[in-house]
Amino acid sequence: MRRRHCLTLPLAAAWGGCAVVQGVSPAAKVSLVPTGTLRAAINLGNPVLARREGGELRGVSVDLARELAKRVVMPLQFVVYESAGAVVFAAAGQAWDVAFVAIDPARGREMLQTNPYLIIEGAYLVAADSPIRSNDEVDRPGVRIAVGKGSAYDLFLSRALKQAQIVYAPTSPAVTDVFVAQKLDVAAGVRQQLEADAKRLPGLRVLDGRFMVIQQAMATLPGREAGLAYLNSFVEEMKSSGFVAQALAQHRIEGAQVAPPGPAR
């Protein structure tokens, strides 16, 4: 798992040097941005959060990173990864300052996470003629499920499945192609990705309902509690102000919901 690409944005020039710090204490700022550049990990493995269009990064997490950099008045560097697992792996080397990953107990040991800002669904995809008709028919002996290694679905299903077998794809976007190539029984992933795959490849269908609720949050590195406190207040403001909802509408993301208000920290 390796870092793929970095982009540095000249934020001071973009905002004319007139941005104002809004509620960022010196301790929080140093905790969150110790190098003087806000390094935001962007996961391209989840199309709900981020994607490339014409060589540019776009998506809800990209918008949030830009707004955060504006608030703390720091230059922004995007550190781009192909999967959430790669983002988590890079935490040990302190390769980023903030990230956008699903909440999971296992990830809580590698990073500090905010309240969720977005809720999406984990779904299953099968062949059109598959005898599997519902989510509760998946966890059975002999059923093989394609899952993106290190994804939120991988972490959840590794704990939840009792009889079915997990077969790993290198990233979440590659899940359906692995499912088809290896003639597996089920593919697991974010609903929007699987629905797009079902349109791209004939003879596939997405099962109704969801097998998990995925809470997307922001994160920072262990030991940065002051930064986490500010990040959490930032997330709550982005939800309550309508910023997250507007980003979803702007990027034409359907099926995702703004998370409800979370507890104060």
Domains of the chain are 5-118+216-258 (3.40.190.10), 120-212 (3.40.190.10)
Condensed to tens digits (0 to 9), the pLDDT of residues 58-69 reads 999 999 999 999
Q: What is the mean pLDDT of residues 15-41?
A: 76
- Both structure tokens of 233: 């207040």
User: Which pLDDT belongs to residue 8?
Assistant: 41
Distance separating alpha carbons of residues 115 and 117, to the nearest angstrom: 7
3-state secondary structure 59-117: CHHHHHHHHHHHHHCCCEEEEEECCHHHHHHHHCCCCCCEEEEECCCCHHHCCEEEEEE
Per-residue confidence band for 16, with pLDDT thresholds at 50, 70 and 90: very low
Q: How far apart, in whole angstroms, are the C-alpha atoms of residue 4 and residue 82? A: 8
Mean of the pLDDT values across residues 193-215?
A: 95
Q: Which pair of structure tokens corresponds to residue 48?
A: 């709900």
Please state, in angstroms and rounded to a whole number, the distance separating the CA atoms of residues 12 and 237.
23
Tell which phi-psi region holds residue 23, choosing left (phi > 0), alpha (psi between -120 and 50) or beta. Answer: left
What is the pTM assigned to this prediction?
A: 0.83
pLDDT of residue 55: 87
Residue 154 neighbours by CB distance under 10 Å: 23
pLDDT for the residue 263: 83
Look at residue 3 in the predicted model and tell me its pLDDT.
Answer: 43
Judged against a pLDDT cut of 60, whether residue 4 lies above it is answered with no
Report DSSP state, residue 256: -
pLDDT in the model for residue 127: 98
Average pLDDT of 83-94?
A: 93
* pLDDT, position 125: 98
Quick: pLDDT tens for 100-112: 999 998 888 889 9
Distance CA 20, CA 30 (A): 16
Q: What is the pLDDT of residues 240-253, one digit of tens each?
A: 999 999 999 999 99
Return the SS3 of 121. strand
pLDDT at 15 over 70: no
**Is 90 exceeded by the pLDDT of residue 11?**
no
- pLDDT of 43 over the 80 cut: yes
pLDDT at 253: 92
